[in-house]
Amino acid sequence: MKNLVFFIYKYYVFFMFLAFEFFALIVLFRFNNYQQASFLNYTSSTSSAIFNTMNSTTGYFNLKTLNDSLQLENARLRTQSLQSFYQNGITKTEVNDTLFKQQYVYISAQVVNNSISKRNNFITIDKGAFHGVKRFDGVICPNGVVGIVWQVTPYYSLVQSVLNSKSSTGAKIKKTGDIGSITWDGSNALFAQLSKVNTYVPVAVGDEVVSTAQSASYPEEIPIGKIVKIDRNPEKNDYDITLLIHTPFSRLKNVYVVRNLFKESQHAAETKALEEEAKQ
Amino acid sequence: MILDTLNYLLRFVLLVFFQIAIINNIDLSTYVNPYIYIAFILSLPYNTKPWVVLVLSLLIGMTMDSFSSLPGPHIAATVLMGYSRRFYIMFSTNKDDQNAPIKPSVSTKGPIGFLIYALVLVFIHHFMLFFLEAFSFNQFFSTLARIFFSTLFTVLLIVLGQLLFYKIAKK
């Protein structure tokens, strides 16, 4: 016993080093494996407040471009709103509208922290569980898709950006409707990769790629990018396509969290189908 | 002694602030991510107690981690660097210097000596950090390229900063 104490005392620096490394790795593995990030909950209140202050100072620099893009979006939405349609016939108010049932709810949010040059990029936004944000909700901006909500705290959320090695966004080619999957190889924040598109699909450079509602996180046809390069994958029977991303990740400011009100029922249907398949 | 502690406290705050407010917002390329806050550990005097170095590494690592979205990598990398620092100093300096309160810098170690010291330790830090951030050995070589270029930039920025503050201190 005495020897052991002496041994630990002699090499206490080494044991301290081991303990600290162990602590760091446990925190990291927990974050990568578990849903609840206690660390994030613990630190986000202070660091987010600091990011907020920093943002309110730098926010003025690109106010003009932001206003322009918001105005454009407002104009587009105004044309789509009910008031811009001429109503032919007698209006009838019905509380329980069975023909139109609200599927998507949009929550506007501000980006408080963002990175584009890491291998795994995350975005912090200033809306959280209190505002109705849930895990795996989609996040879009006026120009296109941004990412998926990854962690939710009461007042902030962490969004896994499309620019993340673990992100895989369901997408389709607008012209043909064929689906594929968007990933990011980490080399350039302007370009993403579209894979799993079969070689029989007639794709061309310049085609638009949009989101698909199959993933249940994004609504149908939110723009993602434009095809700039098409390579044939010799091993598999599909294409390696490079996209120019529409979303300006480097100056992201105003985003919307998309809450799909039908998501739970879609997932329930899908898991039920899988369970039945497993039984057979 | 108290002045020295205050000096290091100020350095800690300034480096962390500079890193978060400015360096982290410069998106040069995915291959260039300099982390200059580790200059704090590099600049501790030779005779700092090893456990103090480790605790300070843990503190600055935790501070950086709380400002990043992935908890853990900065702690692991900085603690590893703080631990390795001792061995590099043992290996590169004589016994008398090791027990003297000499602060490693361009002026005390000479340009070449400091450059090698910074390169070795920054490389150790970045190696740990970038592999933990990637969290896989897929794309091994692109992560290595990231480590290589970021190390060069971090060392460049640290040396430039040293020269700047050395000039100011001399005046």
- The pLDDT value given to residue B121: 94
Mean pLDDT for all residues in chain B: 87
Count how many pairs of residues, chain A against chain B, have C-beta atoms within 8 Å. Answer: 108
- Using pLDDT thresholds of 50, 70 and 90, give the confidence band for residue B42: very high
What predicted TM-score, i.e. pTM, was given to this entire model? 0.70
- The pLDDT value given to residue A93: 43
Exposure on the CB side of residue A124, measured as CA atoms within 13 A: 24
B137 touches chain A (CB under 8 A): no
How many CB atoms are located within 10 Å of the residue A193 CB?
17
DSSP, collapsed to helix, strand or coil, labels residue A144 as: strand
DSSP, collapsed to helix, strand or coil, labels residue B3 as: helix
On whether the CB atoms of residues B146 and B130 are closer than 8 A, the answer is: yes
Shortest Cα–Cα distance, B71 to chain A (Å): 6
Burial string for B21-45 (b: 16+ CB within 10 Å, else e) reads eebbeebeebbebbbbbbbbbbbbe
- How far is Cα B40 from Cα B61, in angstroms, rounded to an integer? 11
- The pLDDT value given to residue A83: 56
On whether the CB atoms of residues B54 and B86 are closer than 8 A, the answer is: no
- The pLDDT value given to residue A81: 64
- The pLDDT value given to residue A73: 80
Exposure on the CB side of residue B110, measured as CA atoms within 13 A: 5
Q: Do domains A38-78+102-164+254-261 and A169-247 have the same CATH topology?
A: yes
On whether the CB atoms of residues B60 and B37 are closer than 8 A, the answer is: yes
Which CATH topology does A38-78+102-164+254-261 take? Thrombin, subunit H (2.40.10)
What are the percentages of helix, strand and coil residues in chain A, rounded to 5?
35, 30, 35
Pairing of strands A223-233, A238-245: antiparallel
Interface probe for A, chosen from B17, B23, B69, B144 (most Cβ of A below 10 Å), is B69
- How far is Cα B144 from Cα B134, in angstroms, rounded to an integer? 11
How many CB atoms are located within 10 Å of the residue A204 CB?
10
Min mean pLDDT across A40-44, A88-92, B37-41, B63-67 is at A88-92
- Using pLDDT thresholds of 50, 70 and 90, give the confidence band for residue B56: very high
Shortest Cα–Cα distance, B77 to chain A (Å): 8
CA-nearest of B18, B140, B146, B123 to A117 is: B146
Interface probe for B, chosen from A8, A15, A22, A28 (most Cβ of B below 10 Å), is A28
- The pLDDT value given to residue B99: 83
- How far is Cα A275 from Cα A201, in angstroms, rounded to an integer? 32
pLDDT exceeding 70 applies to what percent of chain A?
Answer: 86
Pairing of strands A144-152, A179-183: unpaired
- How far is Cα A246 from Cα A224, in angstroms, rounded to an integer? 6
Name every chain B residue with its beta carbon within 8 A of the beta carbon of A113: 67, 69
Burial string for A85-102 (b: 16+ CB within 10 Å, else e) reads eeeeeeeeeeeeeeeeee
DSSP, collapsed to helix, strand or coil, labels residue B129 as: helix
Can you say how many angstroms the Cα of residue A129 is from the centroid of all Cα atoms in its chain?
Answer: 16
Min mean pLDDT across A95-104, A146-155, B130-139 is at A95-104
pLDDT exceeding 90 applies to what percent of chain A?
Answer: 17
DSSP 8-state assignment for residue B32:
B
Interface probe for B, chosen from A9, A15, A16, A20 (most Cβ of B below 10 Å), is A20
Of A13, A21, A118, the CB nearest to B50: A13
Of A28, A58, A187, the CB nearest to B72: A28
The interface residues of chain B toward chain A in range 87-116, judged by CB-CB distance below 8 A, are none
CB contact under 8 A, B72 and A24: yes
DSSP, collapsed to helix, strand or coil, labels residue A233 as: strand
Tell whether the model's pLDDT for residue A42 goes beyond 60.
Answer: no
- How far is Cα A217 from Cα A211, in angstroms, rounded to an integer? 9
Domains of chain B: 2-170 (1.10.1760)
DSSP 8-state assignment for residue A194:
E
Exposure on the CB side of residue B75, measured as CA atoms within 13 A: 24
CB contact under 8 A, B71 and A50: no
Domain spans of chain A? 2-33, 38-78+102-164+254-261, 169-247
Phi first, then psi, for residue A95 (nearest 5°) are -70, -45
Q: What is the pLDDT of residues A163-194, one digit of tens each?
A: 988 888 889 998 888 889 999 988 888 899 99
Partners of A259 in the β-ladder: A105
How many helices (DSSP H) and strands (DSSP E) are in chain A?
Answer: 5, 12
- Using pLDDT thresholds of 50, 70 and 90, give the confidence band for residue A159: very high
CA-nearest of A163, A49, A70, A34 to A113 is: A49
Region A108-131 average pLDDT: 87
- How far is Cα A88 from Cα B77, in angstroms, rounded to an integer? 68
How many CB atoms are located within 10 Å of the residue A170 CB?
17
B80 touches chain A (CB under 8 A): yes
- The pLDDT value given to residue B101: 84
What CATH number belongs to A169-247?
Answer: 2.40.10.350
Q: What is the pLDDT of residues B64-91, one digit of tens each?
A: 988 887 788 999 999 999 999 989 988 8
How many CB atoms are located within 10 Å of the residue A187 CB?
16
On whether the CB atoms of residues A174 and A209 are closer than 8 A, the answer is: yes
